[in-house]
Every structure is written in structure tokens, then in C-alpha cells.
């Protein structure tokens, strides 16, 4: 079954404690992206990757890092989380000009 898998689904952490949200896809897609979703703002792209070792900033990259060492994996790293990073996060993957598959989401709370 084609899917994008994110972990964890829910996470509560404290300010400043580094965390990583994992994302894996089994469709051999070149493109992968991370989004955050906040009420009234839709989904905003944090980072995207066009292929292994090729990443670029989206609209809201501050406070986040990513890596793409393997085609299937695209982890999102928060080196020093802050309360304004409390949000719902989605990973997505695609081959063409449109996002095709999304992970189930990670609800992050930073206290």
C-alpha cells in the first residue's frame, strides 16, 4: 500500500529540548515536503526536498532543519523548540507538480 508514515502522532515537549519527527514514504517519490497547519492559515510549507541531499526552504523555515540522506526518509528537526512551534505537522510526497500523499500528521505541543 502506498503511504507516507510519520512518527510520532502526538508529542508534548518542553521548550529547548531537541526533537525529531520522522517521515518515510514507500513510493520512491523524488519530492518530499514538510508543512505546518495552524487555524485560519491553511498549510504552510516549511522545507522541501527535490531528491537525496537536495533541500530548500519553504515559506516558514525558521527554527527547523531537515535532512534527506535517503530517498524514502525526510526527518524534521527542531533543535530548540519554542511554544510558537506548537502546531499540526504534515509530511507529504509527490512525483509531479502537485502534492499527492500526506502522512497522518503529528500534533506537537511545546510548553
Partner 1 sequence: GQSLEQPSEVTAVEGAIVQINCTYQTSGFYGLSWYQQHDGGAPTFLSYNALDGLEETGRFSSFLSRSDSYGYLLLQELQMKDSASYFCAGSTDSWGKFQFGAGTQVVVTP
Residues that bind partner 1 (CB under 8 A): 31, 33, 35, 40-45, 48-50, 56, 58-59, 90, 97-105
Task: Supply the minimum distance, in Å, between the C-beta of residue 40 and partner 1.
Answer: 6
> Are residues 65 and 85 in contact, defined by beta-carbon separation less than 8 angstroms?
no
Smallest gap from Cβ 17 to partner 1, in A, equals 26
Beta strand 65-66 with 76-78 is antiparallel
Q: Which is nearer to partner 1, 63 or 105 (CB)?
A: 105
* 31/64 with CB nearer partner 1: 31
- 39's enclosing H/E stretch is none
Give the C-alpha separation, 80 to 106, whole Å: 17
Return phi, psi of residue 85, to 5°: -95, 5
Of 15 and 72, which CB lies nearer to partner 1 in the complex structure?
A: 72
Amino acid at each position: 500500500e502506498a503511504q507516507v508514515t510519520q512518527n510520532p502522532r502526538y508529542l508534548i515537549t518542553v521548550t529547548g529540548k531537541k526533537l525529531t519527527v520522522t517521515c518515510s514514504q514507500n513510493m520512491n517519490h523524488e519530492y518530499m515536503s514538510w508543512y505546518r497547519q495552524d487555524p485560519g492559515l491553511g498549510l504552510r510549507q516549511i522545507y522541501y526536498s527535490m531528491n537525496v541531499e537536495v533541500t530548500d526552504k519553504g515559506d516558514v523555515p525558521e527554527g527547523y532543519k531537515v535532512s534527506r540522506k535517503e530517498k524514502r526518509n525526510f526527518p524534521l528537526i527542531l533543535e530548540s523548540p519554542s511554544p510558537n512551534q506548537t502546531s499540526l505537522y504534515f509530511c507529504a510526497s509527490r512525483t509531479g507538480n502537485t502534492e499527492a500523499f500526506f502522512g497522518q500528521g503529528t500534533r506537537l505541543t511545546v510548553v
